Structure 1
């Protein structure tokens, strides 16, 4: 697919320098001259539309957890640190409330121009490199918070390899960050595309159908299974188009195009609240935000990216 890696969080050419992760002396030297992105409850620090970096001795990091080495932005070593244990004076009650948390939290050790903000609300203002760094930081720090104990023996594990591994001191097991593959499908039938909405989404919001890849399943099989389970649509040809890291909390979205061989929709109400076929002409007004009933997929999400490129005839 042309423009495949221009999707938000797509590859920016970040040098992750994995060969340095096991060198503790090198890591200490890099941290001393590098910069750190604090992340609070999944929210990266931002400033003036970009990421908000601090030095390793900043008071913001006083109660921080593991420093994860993200790599080099040009020659600048970049790290991320989880400061979720910090308790702001106000604003915390809004976190994770509703579909999108629009609240921002300000740390007393930083100027008011710095704030912790929901990544989905700020991602479109980031450069490609900033977006990749923020997505990596959010995903791996969430993994550390949710995988603090060994899955083999249950003992507390410890960060290793500059934050890219957890080691169990009791049984010696090694654990690595997880990424969950998710297929997301632009399903077409002639001049129409299939859209659906999940229960609890904002009124009028629709997107492409999507679902997790199951063990022992190919990407193509997952596409066919999910579309049939959710909408009762049978598919013919399926092809991969593009991928997107989606750190909410740790998915890799595998964008695919699929041709439907049936068009009668039979919903699974446990998965989909509503689904419908939308003509190319109507989709233009949907994406422009002028359709009377349907709101577009979120800008920055791969669903929006796929639909936009379908309308522009750039899916080959």
Structure 2
């Protein structure tokens, strides 16, 4: 079974990391007629006619060039320009979350877009050297920033986040149930898997246990890895897990959740069909975790 979140990462491009400092190769590929560029204004892109525009390099504006890599025999780039480029028509330029509707479930360019916007977010957030506050200069085709004062090199940062489907009861039985939560900002009926960021010095499995306990007071025992999804919104790597509860009493001990419930498969299907339960969208690893536990596709989504 191919899970929903895999559609956005199934056709990964060759990032050509070994070529990022090869100026002769970079110049030759930039001039190649089949090379294509995604123009990013700060951290935003402007769709055209319902699609993301990949333009020839001779139509790209001046800006910071990011080598994304090669796919289908062509070289792909992003060019980051000043945010003021989108200033006159801000409603027509979208951040990555707003671009998801323009990425079809089988869109082979999705990994390129995630790469481009993730890098753009890193450049946007990394303005000064954290050691001496000096100015930073881009190198390695946009994938490194070096301080012009002390020489410290900065690399793109990712925030590891665990996302988990916690279950209880006899596995595979009609009574087996899974734990979902509702964020305070969400409307009634919208539920998802629990998630949280990994802390320094903490294993991923312990992060799963801690986050579930902090949010719901449910204790988790066995934890098993499911899969991962790059989620540069703005800089997360979602690491998916299944976990088995060793207690089931729910106590919303902090303000992270407005509600949390156990759902059997029958209740989940019935409420999803009725529209009273709204589950995450099809491209998210949260949806994949839920459907892997349920055993197949479910109706409806956010």
TM-score for the superposition, normalised by structure 2: 0.87
Counterpart in 2 of 1:231? 216
After TM superposition, the structure 1 stretch with the greater mean CA deviation from structure 2, 38-47 or 300-309, is 38-47
The secondary structure found in structure 1 opposite 2:117 is helix
**Does structure 2 retain, via aligned residues, the 8 Å contact 1:51–1:126?**
no
Summarize the Cα distance change of 1:243–1:116 in structure 2 as closer, same or farther, 3 Å threshold.
closer
Find the aligned partners of 2:272 and 2:235 in 1 and give their Cα distance.
27
Counterpart in 2 of 1:120? 100
The alignment status of 1:30 with 2:29, answered yes or no, reads yes
After TM superposition, the structure 1 stretch with the greater mean CA deviation from structure 2, 272-281 or 36-45, is 36-45
State the shift of 1:164 in Å. Answer: 0.8
The secondary structure found in structure 2 opposite 1:57 is helix
State the shift of 1:313 in Å. Answer: 6.4
**Does structure 1 retain, via aligned residues, the 8 Å contact 2:162–2:241?**
yes
Q: Which runs of 5+ in 1 are unaligned?
A: 93-102, 107-114
Counterpart in 2 of 1:71? 69
**Does structure 2 retain, via aligned residues, the 8 Å contact 1:43–1:118?**
no
Counterpart in 2 of 1:184? 163
State the shift of 1:39 in Å. Answer: 2.2
The alignment status of 1:301 with 2:284, answered yes or no, reads yes
Q: Figure out how many residues of one structure are paired with residues of the other and give that number.
A: 288
The secondary structure found in structure 1 opposite 2:141 is helix
Deviation by residue 1:76-110 (Cα, 9 ceiling, x = unmatched): 110012232313434x2xxxxxxxxxx5349xxxx
The secondary structure found in structure 1 opposite 2:161 is strand
After TM superposition, the structure 1 stretch with the greater mean CA deviation from structure 2, 294-303 or 218-227, is 294-303
- 1:158 equivalent among 134, 137, 160: 137
Find the aligned partners of 1:5 and 1:151 in 2 and give their Cα distance.
38
- 1:209 equivalent among 151, 171, 194: 194
Find the aligned partners of 1:211 and 1:30 in 2 and give their Cα distance.
40
Counterpart in 2 of 1:197? 182
TM-score for the superposition, normalised by structure 1: 0.84
Deviation by residue 1:143-178 (Cα, 9 ceiling, x = unmatched): 011102111111110111001111111111111001
Q: Provide the alpha-carbon RMSD of the alignment.
A: 2.4
